[in-house]
Structure 1
Amino acid sequence: MSSDTTPASYRYQEALAPLARRIDDPKVQKKLSEVLALLDFNSTLNRSLELPEILDLVLFVAMGETRAAWAGLLLRDGETKRLVPSARRGRGDERWASLDLPEPPAEPTISGVGDPSVSDWAKSVLTLTGSALLVPLVKSTRLVGVLLFGDRGEPYGEDDRLFAESLCVTAAASIDNGRIYKELQTLNRKLSLKVYQLDSLFDIARELNRSPDIQRVREVLMTNAMGHVLTTRAVLLHDGKVAEQRGFTLSPEERARLERVSRELSEIPEDQKVSELPEGALRDLLSGLELDTVVALRSGESSHGALLLGARAAGKSLAEEDRDFLRSLASQAAAALDNLRLTREWIEKQKIEKEMALAREIQARLLPDSEPGIEGWDIAGINIPCLTVGGDYFDYVPRGDDRHWLVIADVSGKGTGAALLMASVHAALHALAGIGDISLEGLTERLNEIVYSSTEVNRYVTAFFSTLDAKTGELVYLNAGHCYPLLLRTSGDVERLVKGGAVVGMLEELTVGAGKTKLEQGDLLVLYTDGLSETTNPAGEEFEDTGIIEVMRSCRGKASREIMARLVSGVRLYAAEAGLADDLTLMVVQRN
Structure 2
Amino acid sequence: MDILKPKLNKPLLYLFKLGIYTSLYGIIRYIVFRLPTDNADVYAFILTIAIIIFNRGKLTHILQQFIDRQFYRTFYNLKQELLKLNQELPSYMEPDELIQRIKTFLDHHFLPEDYRFYILKGDQFNQVHRSGESSNRFPVRLNIESSGECWKALPSGTYMFSIDTLEAISPQCSEFIRSLGENNPYTYLVPLNGAKGMNGFILFSDKILALTQVEELRELLERVFQKTGQLLENALIHAAIKRKSLESEILLDIVGKITSSLNLQQVLESIVDNLSKLVQYDAAAIFLVDKERKILQQVVTRGYDEARMQTLTLKLDQGISGEVIRTQTGVIIPDVRKDPHYFAAREKTLSQITVPIVHRGNAIGALVLESDQLEHFTREDLELLTFFSGLAAIAIRNAQLYEDSVKKKRLESELVVASRVQKALLPRRVPVVQGIEMDFVNIPSLIVGGDFYDIFKINEQCQGIAIGDVSGKGAPAALLMAVVYAGFKSLLKEIDPVVTVVAR
| TM-score, scaled to structure 1 | 0.35
When you count helix as a share of all residues, which structure comes out higher?
Answer: 2
Q: Give the greater-gyration-radius structure (CA).
A: 2
| TM-score, scaled to structure 2 | 0.40
